[in-house]
Amino acid sequence: MQVSSFATTVPEKVTGQRYVDDIFRLQVEPFLNGLPGAIFQQNNAHPHTSQAAQDFLRHVQTLPWPALSPDLSPIEHVWDQLKRQMQLCHSVHDLEVAVQDLWVHLPQDNIRRLINTMPDRFVACIAAGGGPTRYRSCTVFV
């Protein structure tokens, strides 16, 4: 299994249609076309669940994902770590440069540790009847 992600900046508020036109069609779709059998996962943000996005994604194999589930989405812990390390930025350009630098230097051992917690996260979620788990706010980085 290969887990991949990418980031892009959008200069305006991301609506459902903008998500489809500027992000999915330009970035995600070409990426997925190069990965036969790929399964797409997103976090159910409003643009992801819009009618425009749902109509467009009808022909894309997606992984159903519960909304508001940081305990099942290790990337949320990565974003949290990046936010904590982020210095005050005075422009969008400075922010983009800072995020890219932090992302490139993120230790892969931290990512592996997060991925390795997934089986326990699923067990905890089932045990909690789908409710919050201890992973919701835990940080696996050391």
User: How do residues 119-128 score in pLDDT, each as one tens digit?
Assistant: 998 898 889 8
CB atoms within 10 A of CB 7: 9
Model pLDDT for residues 6-55, shown as the tens digit of each residue = 677 777 899 999 999 999 999 889 988 888 888 888 888 899 999 999 99
d(CA 60, CA 28): 11
User: What single-letter amino acid sits at 117?
Assistant: T
Q: Average per-residue pLDDT in the chain?
A: 83
Residue 3 has pLDDT above 70, yes or no: no
For residue 66, is pLDDT > 70? yes
Share of the chain above pLDDT 70, in %: 89
Under the banding of pLDDT at 50, 70 and 90, the label for residue 138 is very low
Asked whether the predicted pLDDT for residue 142 surpasses 60, the reply is no
Neighbours of 49 (CB within 10 A): 14
- Output the pTM of the full model: 0.66
Domain boundaries, the chain: 1-65, 68-141
User: Tens digits of per-residue pLDDT, 107-119?
Assistant: 888 888 888 888 9
